[in-house]
Structure 1
Amino acid sequence: MKILKLKEVMDCTALARSTIYKYISEDFFPKPIPLGTRSVGWLESEVEEWILARVAERDEAA
């Protein structure tokens, strides 16, 4: 199990910070895990699942 920091999530998804947090508020993106008082991270597996779900949506639409 690996935890990704925001920069890594941004690199993996090609989304901006503001978009990631917008999607979180809309329950469209995995919620971060608190790591400390001012630090959060995301489970790599949840981010990968989210990406794969976008691919599946694309394939269903085609």
Structure 2
Amino acid sequence: MTLIPLTKLSDKGILYSRNYIDRLIKEGRFPKPVFLSPRRRAFIETEIDEWVKTRIEQRDEVAA
């Protein structure tokens, strides 16, 4: 299992601000982070990949 820090989400094409990601998490629309310490969090790579895949599938459904 690979963890991705918040600062490396851009490597996955996720260019959202920290505040927007926090809002999506609160709304249940983004994977929850794993807290490594009180001020350090990371995301499970497979959950992020699945989230991106779902966004692509939603886009394709609208286009069809």
| Residue matched to 2:38 | 37
Gapped regions of structure 1 (runs ≥ 5): none
Gapped regions of structure 2 (runs ≥ 5): none
| Residue matched to 2:2 | 2
| Residue matched to 2:56 | 55
The sequence identity of aligned pairs, in percent, is 34
How many equivalent residue pairs?
Answer: 61
| Residue matched to 2:21 | 20
TM-score normalized by the length of structure 2: 0.88
TM-score normalized by the length of structure 1: 0.90
Moved over 4 A (4+): none
